[in-house]
Structure 1
Amino acid sequence: MTLILTSCWSDRHRVCCRIVIETGRIRAWPRRQRPMDALLTIAVTVVVLGAPVVTNQLGDVSAAGWAILVIACGAVYFRRAAPLTVTVITLVCSTTYLIMPDPDGPVVLTFAIAIYTLMATGRLASGILIGAVAVVASFYGEYSTDQENLGDLGVVFFAGWLITVMAVGGAVHSRRAYLREVDERTRQSEANREEELRRRTTEERLRIARELHDVLGHTISLINVQASAALHRMPRDPDQAVEALTTIKQSSHEALQELRTTLGVLRQVDEAVPTAPAPSLAHVPELISRLESAGFETDTDIEGEPPESLPPAVDLAGYRIVQEALTNVTRHSGASAVTVRIRYGDDVQLNIIDDGRGGDPERPGGSGVIGMKERAASVGGRLEAGPGPEGGFVVQAWLPLRGQE
């Protein structure tokens, strides 16, 4: 097997690394791991090459034996970059040296380190196959001839020792994989949390914007109509002008109260908590009364009684839809009369009809219609709006009594 070594520089991480091409696969060899590999290689070399010196067998090792020992020890340095190649090399070197007439030594230690690394890097199938070959070869070498090398106990010990090394390597791989999975789940959970926070923030912003539009749009439209009426009537009928100005004062006061309620979540710490009840369909007559004070002819028809189980979200959505429909009447339609019908049954049905111009079919009522549709959809209902068959503009909404939570 050929090892092709080259070097690269990562501008992003500022890490000098070495790339080793091993049987078609490219593995990164970070610089921070090489000192540890160098120290391990030196330690193994001292043990393997120093054994003949300690046992006074230095002269019994042949030149070929020394070469094999050096190759096996040197291969350990590349165990992280090319674990499979190093395992095969150390196995061949260990087997070759042990069958030579040279004195036995701990060269098999290089093979043990290599196969541990192979298992720890996740190549379990290759590691198990090579380990099985080594165990079978040791038994074959011991019992295929009459010469005793390791003995019965030695062969069993070698097999058990090698299996233990492989098991430790596999356990290290499993532990690393588990930690990687936990880390990935943690990152994914953090990303999901941030995404959920962004979604909730966006929904809250839309809700506040919709509330502000509904509250201010309706009241300011009435104030505008009343102010125009007061200016028009002031020279001829001061009493009606005073009535219009009184209505303006009351409407602006109510608008200010609703605005404070809507922005309650943004209040300062020392502000009192809003205690006013939320708007509901029961307050629709007040909207009609304001419209009448602005000079519009109104017709209100309420069929049935609101059930006790009417969800607050549906009640509020219905009120806001009626409020926005009446706001569009004062803003866009040029109408002089409006009819409001509310029917309580299996659902809440709303009909707001005016006698104005009918609006633009392509953009009926402007962005207010979009807001009304969003209101209806938020509780599981639906809304239709557009020019009526006999003129004017028609808003129809169906709100289920069991709205979305």
Structure 2
Amino acid sequence: MRSLSTCKDEPGTVAERAGPDPLRGTPQRAAQYDTQRSRLTVPRPAHCRPLLAHTSALSEKHPPPWGDALRSSPLRPPGDPAWGWAVPGGLAAELCPCPPAGQAVDATNLRYVAAIILSEKQCQDRLQETNKSCNALLLMLGQKARTAEVELAKEKAVCGKDREGLALARRAAEEQLAECGRAREQQRQERQLAEDRLQKVQALCLQLDKDKFEADLRSLWRDSIIPRRLDSLSYGLYAPLGPELDAIRRGCDLLPGVMSSKVEELARSLRAGIERVARENSDLQRQKLEAEQGLRAGQEAREKAEKEAQAREAKLQAECARQTQLALEEKAALRRERDGAAKELQERKREAEQAKMQLAVSNSALDTCIKAKSQPLSVPRPVGPAPNPPPVIDAAGLEEFKRRILESQRPPAGSPAAPASG
């Protein structure tokens, strides 16, 4: 702390009584040292004059390691190279026994410092607990996110399989529908062809009217010369031929019916032959159509197979590209996580080293203060009234003390800022 005493008499510096400052060496550091020296100027009371001879002995007995300790103190603003060294309270009391009012101010400042240290420790404890809870929450959220990603991947795989199955079923149904359409078209063409052939046969084969044909034959028979000739023979000289002539007449009368039967049988056989030839032609035409349809179906199947092969190849290429992209993204994410983990580890190591250094500095300063307070004093101290019990720390006074401490640690506006030593 910079406020060592409130005594007012003769000007003097703590640096003169404590020894040389190791910060002096460069013009910048010299300027900073002079600035700090002017800040650390405290009044030298009249009753402290006989102690000047004793000051050098105390300086030799109490070397100034607290200057380095206070440079790493938590109260020092970051990057402030102009932080000087200050004399601990015990040594300051030895060098300059102050009136009770100054001791009360110092005691108040010490209580403020203790309150600040306790508050800082509590804040650090709360920060550690908060960090632990945040880390646990982040770990839990990461586990939940990984579980959700795994479940999402499983659902995507199941949905992909279902979609592929539905696509296969749809293609099969479309193929069956196309096959049914082709079969229906083939049957329609065959029926149309059969009807055309039947109409042609019916047009070629006229209907035979048996009764009319027989009547025409009978009228032709009556109009012919044969019946009249047979009638004239019955009145001739050949009387014994009468019965044979009757038989011949009856045979001639039955001849039109026999001829019509023969003609009908001939027409029936002719019609059957024509129908057989028509059926054979229909069969040949159907076979031709089936061959053409088979050839067309083969060409369509080949084209479809080529298209499916191209589609599968494109799908495989897209899937390979996607998997490659995902692998690259995952690799980049892992690299970022590794870099972040390395940076965090370095930061934690740096914080641990700083904490160790601060702890070592605090221990050194505490040991120095204890040693300084434990040294016997040859200078008689004025006897004052009995100390009162420590009052309750005032919050407003504590804040004002913090503000003054921070303002006292700010570097001067004209001095150049030196780089902070790590």
User: Which protein, 1 or 2, shows the higher relative CO under an 8 Å CA cutoff with sep ≥ 6?
Assistant: 2
Please identify the structure whose Cα radius of gyration is greater. Answer: 2
Bigger proportion of residues as helix: 2
| TM-score with structure 2 setting the length | 0.27
